[in-house]
Amino acid sequence: MEQLGKYLKRLRLEKNLTLADVQKKTQISTGYLSEIERGNRISPHPTILTKLAEVYGVGDREVMEVAGYLAREGKKIFSQKEEIEWAFSAALMDPEFGRFINRGRARFMPTEMKIELIRYYEKMTGKKLLS
DSSP 5-55: HHHHHHHHHHTT--HHHHHHHH---HHHHHHHHHTS-SS--HHHHHHHHHH
User: What is the residue-averaged pLDDT of the chain?
Assistant: 85
Asked if residue 54 and residue 20 are part of one domain, the reply reads yes
Q: Can you tell me the mean pLDDT for 69-85?
A: 69
Instruction: Give domain status of residue 117, yes or no.
Output: yes
The predicted-structure confidence for 11-40, as pLDDT tens digits, reads as follows 999 999 999 999 999 999 999 999 999 988
- Position with higher pLDDT, 102 vs 10: 10
Provide the pLDDT for residue 31. Answer: 94
Provide the pLDDT for residue 124. Answer: 84
For the chain, count helices (H), then strands (E). 9, 0
Q: How many C-beta neighbours within 10 Å does residue 92 have? A: 20
Closest alpha carbon to 70 in 91, 89, 87: 87
% the chain with pLDDT above 90: 38
Asked if residue 14 and residue 58 are part of one domain, the reply reads yes
Instruction: Give domain status of residue 74, yes or no.
Output: no
DSSP run (H or E) holding 71: none
Is the pTM of the predicted complex or chain greater than 0.85? no
pLDDT beyond 70 at 71: no
Number of domains, the chain: 2
Asked if residue 85 and residue 56 are part of one domain, the reply reads no
